[in-house]
Amino acid sequence: MRKIVILAALAAATVASPALAQSDKTGEGRVEVRGGIAWAQGQEEAFAGVAAGYDFDLGDTAFVGAEVSADKVLAGGADVLFSVGGRVGAKIGDAGRVYALAGYGFTEGDDGAFAGAGYQHNLGEKIFAKIEYRRTLVEGPDVNFAGVGVGLRF
Element (H, E) at 9: helix 2-21
12-46 tens-digit pLDDT: 444 444 444 444 568 999 999 999 999 999 999 99
What mean pLDDT do residues 133-149 have? 90
Compute the average pLDDT of residues 59-72. 96
Q: Which residue has the higher pLDDT, 12 or 57?
A: 57
Per residue in 71-114, pLDDT tens?
A: 999 988 888 999 999 999 999 999 999 999 999 998 887 789 99
Residue 42 backbone dihedrals phi, psi, to 5 degrees: 80, 5
Number of residues in the chain: 154
Instruction: Please report the DSSP string for 107-152 in residue order.
Output: -SS-EEEEEEEEEEEE-SSSEEEEEEEEEEEESSS-EEEEEEEEEE
- Average pLDDT of the residues of the chain: 87
pLDDT at 129 (0 to 100): 98
Q: In angstroms, how far apart are the furthest CA atoms of the chain?
A: 49
Contact in structure between 137 and 110 (CB atoms under 8 Å): no
Q: What pLDDT does residue 123 have?
A: 98
Average of per-residue pLDDT across 5-14: 46
At 84 the pLDDT is 98
CB 117 within 8 A of CB 88: no
Q: What Cα–Cα distance (Å) separates residue 147 from each residue in 30, 33, 46, 109?
A: 17, 10, 9, 23
Note the pLDDT of residue 104: 96
What is the predicted pLDDT for the residue at 24?
Answer: 58
Q: What is the pTM of this model?
A: 0.83
pLDDT above 80 for 134: yes
